[in-house]
Structure 1
Amino acid sequence: MTKSASSPDTVRVKVAINPLEEANQKLRNALEQLKRLRLVQKVFLGLGQMFSVGASQEELLKVIGEAMGALFGNVYYLVQITDPHPPAPIACDSRGPLLPNVAQHIHLTRSSVAKTRVEAAALHAPYVKVHDEVPRLFEGSTHAIHVPLVAENQLFGAIQMEAGPGVPLGDDDEVLLIALANHMALAIRNRRLLEETAYLRDYMASILEHANALIMVLNMNRQILVFNRALEDLLGFSKDDVLGTDMFQWMPADVQDRFAAEISAVLDERPSPAGVETRLRNREGQPVQIQFQLASLKDPDGRPESLILVGQDLTRLRNLERQVIEAEKMGSLGKLAAGVVHELNNPLTSITVYSEYLAKRIRAGQIDAADADRVEKILEGAGRIQKLTRDLVSYGRPSPDEPELLNLNDLVHQALGFCEHIISKHDVRVSCELCESLPPIQGTRNQLIQVIINLVTNACQAMEGGGELSLCTRAEGEERVALSVSDTGIGIPEKDQRRIFDPFFTTKKDGQGTGLGLSIVSRIVEHHGGTIQVKSEPGKGTVFDVLLPRAARLADREELSQDRPE
């Protein structure tokens, strides 16, 4: 029998693989992977939703524990959370037979510290232990995976997962645990940031609310965003009354231009060092004087997004200043008393002489047409007396709070009328160069007259042997009106020029001055939004320049009144 070519010791086994069964197996594997991915996605979405609603620490631990069970099945785990700044007690959740006292520390490995770049300060915390190898934290475990919870180098805790015999942990489990830990660390960090932001917001709001200062915040449309308790107490309005309204709704029209100019200056980063003084009406409709310092608050791109106003109630101070100004005004009238008597005496003399003469003529029946001129003289003298007494009454009357439109030239003439005697007494020659087309100003008549009287009086007193006094008005650009008062007197030493506007500073002899005159002049000018400067040379004379803002043009005022909220 012929042997087969094949070796009798060789047995060939041919296994036939069904292509359909192979395809089904691949499909089942793919479905398992898809199911696994959907589970992972569901778990991570659930965690994200829980973190986004600001869950408590206990709720977070519970959700994370449920996620561990869903993702890894029957494994042991220890989840620990802490706060790095300042170090807080460790909160933890676990499943499985933990070894005694291991949960009191966060266990790290040197390799995980190097990979996550945990800040050095965290490694020295008393609740952190660093190991060369992954420690076993559960009884009977044979496999362990350890991942710290680190975000931006800050340690927020750790996750340790362990398994016993028959429950192997593979590379896929480690990758998934790392992803879960990173997600948790970022979520916890963001939650901490939100908590800190909320705390700082509430803390700052509490500071603003209870600060012993008047604090208001406006947006770029002047709408009121913050109105603190000090303002509520001062003005009598509640937050509900004012929040969201235009600040100009609570401000008189005559101060709105100045306030708007200060806002523009702040936005241009050139704020006034002294801030801006304004008036706000209270619930009774009365004006309250407030000095505000303004600053812009900028967005992350450096663009102004709001304005903060920090104010001080000046009502009492301004009332006291007004009393001082009125007292000084009465003092000025006292100094001018001799001049007033002189002004009254001259026309009274002419009235008396002409009246006696006409009485004799009438009794003798000798009245003729020429006597009409004498009657005119009597009427002229009476008119002069009437004007002087009217001006005196007006000047002596307390100044009104509300400003009015004024012509600076008229104020100069009225002030010089009060000063005629002191001008004559010191043998002073007066010259006036008054601009005929001078724009109007807005202010308090009597206070501005007092400014001119004080400057003229000081100039005359500086020219004991006579001299020249010049008063000049002019427009300074489009925004200001100027008054210059110059004399040819003894001048002011340079060392005193910096102090002449200080209260109670005087170079006059004892009993001849209080040192309040120029201080009050300066305060009145500043109150009207103006400035006053002095230039002097000893032995040659002195010049005082007063600059005052011109009143808003009629068109400007009409536009402002139309824009004002009802």
Structure 2
Amino acid sequence: MFDRNLRVIIANKNFLEKSRRTEYETIGKHVDEIFPSVILQYTQLSERIRTVFKGGVGDRGREMYYRSPGLPTRVYYYNLTPLIDDQGIVENVMLIMDDITQQVSLREKVRQTERHLASVVESANDIVTSLDPKGMILTWNNAAERISGYIERELVSKPLTTIFVDAQKATLVSIIEGLSKGKMVKHIELGLITKMGKIIPISWSFALMRDDAQMVVGIVGVGQDLSERRELEAQLFHSAKLASLGVMAGGIAHEIRNPLGISSAAAQLLLEYPENESLRKECAQKIYSGIKRASQIIEELLKFSHPSKGQFEPTNINDAVVETLNLIEKQLVLTRIEIKKNLDSHIPVITAERNLLKQAFLNMLLNAANAMPDGGILTITTETDGKNSVMVIFKDTGRGISAENIDKIFDPFFTTMPVGKGTGLGLSITYSIIKHHEGTIHVESTAGKGTTFTIKLPIKKKINSEEGCNV
């Protein structure tokens, strides 16, 4: 405590200990003798004490860094309080110094952590955005700006649905409502519309942000750009198609050679007996039928090998199965495989990418053929599972799958075929295609007793022109 001459009249024990001064060295001394000149210049303490004496108003809320001889620097939060007598005159000024060294250290650690987290968020390659509980955008990181083309100030305080395709806005609203009820959302694919109008597939994960009282204060969303992955999948799927065509080459050649051979023989008869009217008519019909059949096979091959447009459309599963069988059935018969078809004539129409499903079915047929090198029976069944799904079942009488391999069959590049006889991609690509259709594929097998694959596809799925694998 200081008098009007700025001399110390009281100093408590804590001050004396922290400053390493004795009471004799402190009481009666001027403020300039108590504190180092550097602190006095930085804080202008003398002038502040005089101001409090003159105005009678306390001086609050400042920090002082103070180091006593032989001790580390401490940080104090100090304030000056006037002591006023009955006549309203300031008799003394009290200096209270609160040691906040630990708090300042924690504060600096918090700041470092905040800077580190902010750096992590801004350096991330994925979209990281924070939303308020209603889905309004609060922050938008650098990756989000790069991917979307929108800078943060263009989107802050706007709903996240602003940059979603119309058909998926209701889905996002439902997700936000579900989060408030404690539901977790991971890896849901939703299309983001960039500033240039391009639609980018994004895999989103959402989670709630809570305060210390566990009250919901916001939502954090992380989005991974799937564009590059989709392009790689498209290349892989297309390569797999071409590989499948290579496997089928022998059967396809035989399939085309038959109608061409018939047409050639009919043409030779026409040249040999041009005057025979009835023979001419019959030969012309044979030539026409043969060319038509060869043209149909080539057309089906072109449709199969052409990249998919990435659009879901009404699809009859039976038709997709039959069209796929037409490509390979003769080759299967030549390898002594008997095809049995149990196709439900009342199977409901589903929404699907037809060519992708045909590729999945072809992979299943080739897999069954590889499992029956000495011939066997392949039974293909279509049926409904209640009202929600259709099922396509491929059951073969082949060598089956061993117990140690059954959990690996959908892994990329896993194959039990000899080197050079298989890529190990057929079943993994089939799995990806079925998952793309929000379906499931299940396998049951016993070594030496055959294998059954059951593909289940949902009946009800909205047709959205923006969806697709772009394969």
TM-score by length of 2: 0.71
Stretches of structure 2 lacking an aligned partner (at least 5 in a row): 31-59, 61-74, 467-471
Distance 1:523 1:277 in 2: 14
After TM superposition, list the pairs within 5 Å mapping 1:180-259 onto structure 2. Answer: 205=118, 207-252=120-165
Letter in 2 for 1:494: A
Distance 1:442 1:303 in 2: 42
Distance 2:268 2:169 in 1: 59
Query: For 2:404, what is the secondary structure of its paired residue?
Result: helix
Instruction: After TM superposition, give the deviation of residue 455 of structure 1 in Å.
Output: 0.9
After TM superposition, list the pairs within 5 Å mapping 1:391-430 onto structure 2. Answer: 391-430=300-339
Partner of 1:317: 229
Deviation per CA, 1:285-316, whole angstroms, max 9, x where unpaired?
Answer: 33333333322224666565543222333322
Match for 2:439 among 513, 530, 534? 530
CA contact (8 A) 2:348 2:459 kept: no
Stretches of structure 1 lacking an aligned partner (at least 5 in a row): 1-74, 78-93, 109-125, 142-148, 150-154, 561-566
Question: Do structure 1's residue 461 and structure 2's residue 387 form an aligned pair?
Answer: no
Partner of 1:513: 422
CA change 1:420–1:397 in 2 (3 A) is same
Distance 1:161 1:251 in 2: 59
Match for 2:297 among 371, 383, 388? 388
CA change 1:547–1:302 in 2 (3 A) is farther
Distance 1:325 1:358 in 2: 46
CA change 1:262–1:392 in 2 (3 A) is farther
Query: For 2:202, what is the secondary structure of its paired residue?
Result: strand
Partner of 2:209: 297
Computing the radius of gyration from Cα coordinates, the structure with the larger value is 1
Instruction: After TM superposition, give the deviation of residue 162 of structure 1 in Å.
Output: 10
Distance 2:162 2:282 in 1: 59
Partner of 2:189: 277
Instruction: After TM superposition, give the deviation of residue 402 of structure 1 in Å.
Output: 4.4
CA contact (8 A) 2:203 2:225 kept: yes
Partner of 2:69: none
CA change 1:250–1:196 in 2 (3 A) is same
RMSD: 4.7
CA change 1:346–1:356 in 2 (3 A) is same
CA contact (8 A) 1:107 1:158 kept: no
Distance 2:14 2:78 in 1: 7
Query: For 1:498, what is the secondary structure of its paired residue?
Result: coil
Match for 1:307 among 219, 224, 246? 219
CA change 1:240–1:462 in 2 (3 A) is same
* Larger RCO of the pair (alpha carbons < 8 Å, separation 6+): 2
Letter in 1 for 2:277: Q
Question: Do structure 1's residue 348 and structure 2's residue 266 form an aligned pair?
Answer: no
Percentage of matched positions with identical amino acids:
27
CA change 1:430–1:195 in 2 (3 A) is same
CA change 1:243–1:530 in 2 (3 A) is farther
Instruction: After TM superposition, give the deviation of residue 420 of structure 1 in Å.
Output: 1.3
Distance 2:336 2:29 in 1: 117
Deviation per CA, 1:317-362, whole angstroms, max 9, x where unpaired?
Answer: 332232222112111111111111122122223333444445666x
Distance 2:376 2:21 in 1: 95
TM-score by length of 1: 0.60
Deviation per CA, 1:393-426, whole angstroms, max 9, x where unpaired?
Answer: 1122223344444333322122111121332133
CA contact (8 A) 1:351 1:382 kept: yes
CA contact (8 A) 2:442 2:454 kept: yes
Partner of 2:240: 328
